[in-house]
Amino acid sequence: MLGNFDFDVIRRSLPYLFYEGMTFTLTLTALSALGGLIFGTAIALMRLSGYKTLGRIAGLYVDFMRSLPLVLVIFWFYFLVPYIGQWLTGASRPISVGAFASSLITFIMFEAAYFSEIMRAGIQSISRGQPAAANALGLTYAQTMRYVVLPQAFRNMLPVLLTQTIVLFQDTSLVYVLSIPDFLGAASKVAQRDGRLVEMYLFAAFVYFTISCVASFGVRRLQSRIAIIR
């Protein structure tokens, strides 16, 4: 059956697959990772803040997000975000949010739960003496976090954070359920239009595999380099 494998359909659709599909996927991955890291760090700080209520809210948020399948969350947000926008801005009607913005918000909110757990572990890995020393030097809480704790936590956790970003890169393919042309969505549109499922899905698998493999190889090298410095 592989005899009539049609490479031409892949070659013809390459510009669409990469200029539109892969650009969407990579932009979504990068921005979600950045947003998820910032929001996740905030959640981690809330959990470790020592304020009970604040910590509990943050904990509930993390547990809640981690209990739900991403597909369900994607549906939720796609339909709900405009109403939240309306509520936040007090507008008279739902705020129109495009497909990209909606997916971005979804992934930031969802991944923040996972990034926050990593950052929490990172912050906890720093010895108690350091914040104490910072305190003794007269640094405020914000300064201690900004200049002492977070940079180290981030560095220690960098390999784990990057591995989670690779998972995120793969997870973005789920926006397929909304018919949004990310890399896989683009591939499936061509596949269905031309009836070339085998070629397009194998090619998509190959591209995801190659990128993830190279990225995780890079993370492993980074990990060993960091390990030596320590």
Residue with smaller CB distance to other proteins, 45 or 187: 187
What phi, psi does 196 have (nearest 5°)?
-120, 60
Contact 109, 68 (CB under 8 A): no
Binding mask 2-21 for other proteins (x = CB under 8 A): x-------------x---x-
Contact 131, 148 (CB under 8 A): yes
Rounded to whole angstroms, the Cα distance separating 139 from 212 reads 41
Total residues in contact with other proteins, by rule CB under 8 A: 58
Residue 156 binding other proteins, by CB under 8 A: no
Contact 61, 113 (CB under 8 A): yes
Residue 141 binding other proteins, by CB under 8 A: no
Residue 205 binding other proteins, by CB under 8 A: yes
Per CB under 8 A, the list member of 30, 38, 177, 226 interacting with other proteins is 177
Residue 129 binding other proteins, by CB under 8 A: no
Helix 150-171 vs helix 99-124: crossing angle, to nearest 10:
140
Residue with smaller CB distance to other proteins, 3 or 129: 3
Per CB under 8 A, the list member of 94, 154, 158, 223 interacting with other proteins is 94
Residues 73-92 that bind other proteins (CB under 8 A): 75-76, 78-83, 86-87
Q: How far is the CB of 72 from other proteins (least distance, A)?
A: 5
Residue 130 binding other proteins, by CB under 8 A: no
Per CB under 8 A, the list member of 11, 52, 93, 128 interacting with other proteins is 93
Residues at the site binding other proteins, with contacts judged by CB under 8 A: 1-2, 16, 20, 64, 66-72, 75-76, 78-83, 86-87, 93-99, 102, 170-171, 173-174, 176-181, 184, 186, 188-189, 192-193, 195, 197-198, 201-202, 204-205, 208-209, 212-213, 216
